[in-house]
Amino acid sequence: MEPLSVAIFAGALLLNAGTPGPSIAALVSRVITNGWRGVIPFVAAMWIGEMIWLSMAMAGLTAFAQTFQSGFQIIKWLGSAYLCWLAFKMWRQPAAEVGNDLPRRTSPLSMFGAGMAVTLGNPKIMVFYIALLPSLVDLSSVGLQEWAILSFVTLVTLAAIDLSWTFLAHKARLLLRTPHAVRIANRVGAFALGGAAAAIASRN
C-alpha cells in the first residue's frame, strides 16, 4: 500500500472522528461524571466497534451491510435508547461533593455495551467505512498486510483523538468541587447524552 494512500486515509479519519459528534459527546459526558478510569471500557468498545466497521469494509461486506440495513437500524435505535437511559440516570444523580473521590461508577460491562452501541449505531461512522473508505483506498487489492497497516493507523488516530478529549474532560472535571458545580455538570452531561442519542436516531 502506498504511503500516500495511508496518509489520505489517516487524514480523512482524523477529520471524521475528531469532529464533535455523538461519540465524542457521550465520551466527554461520561468522563466528567465517572472520571477517566471509569470510561476505559467505553473507549475500548468504541475502538473495537470502529475496527469491526473497518474489517467489514475491507472484507468486501458492504453489500452485506446494505442488505441487512434494518439490523443496523435496530442497533441504532437500541443505542439511542440506551443513551437516553444514561442521560436520565445522570440527570437524577445526587450532587454530592466530589473532593478527591470519584463518584460511583457505572459497571464496566454497562460502559462497554454503551460504547459498542454508540459506535455500531452511529451512521456517521458507518458511512465513513462503508461508503467513503472504498473511495480512499483500493479495497480490491488489499490483503492481510494492508489490513494490519490500516488497523494500526486507525487505532493510533482514534487513540490520539479520544485520549485528547478525555484529558480535556478530566481537566474540566477537576473544577467540580461543590454540589452546585456537580449538579450543573450532571445536567450538562445529561443534555450531551440526550443530544448524542437524538443525533444518532435522526441520521439515516
Confidence (pLDDT) at 44:
94
Distances (CA, A) of 181 to 28, 39, 52, 54, 158: 16, 21, 38, 40, 30
Is the pTM of the predicted complex or chain greater than 0.85? no
Q: Can you read off the three cell numbers belonging to residue 99? A: 473532593
The pLDDT tens digits of the residues spanning 170-191 come to 887 776 555 666 666 667 667 7
Residue 86 and residue 190: Cα distance in Å, rounded? 8
Confidence band for 43, pLDDT divided at 50, 70 and 90: very high
d(CA 20, CA 54): 20
What percent of the chain is modeled with pLDDT above 70?
A: 65
**Cα separations in angstroms, 34 against 74, 88, 101:** 28, 15, 10
Q: Read off the pLDDT of each residue in 87-101 and give the average, rounded to a whole number.
A: 57
Q: Rounded CA gap, 142 and 146, in Å?
A: 5
SS3 of the chain: helix, strand, coil, percent, to 5: 80, 0, 20
Q: What is the largest distance, in Å, between two alpha-carbon atoms of the chain?
A: 57
Share of the chain above pLDDT 90, in %: 11
- Tell whether the model's pLDDT for residue 1 goes beyond 80: no
Separation of CA 91 from chain center:
21
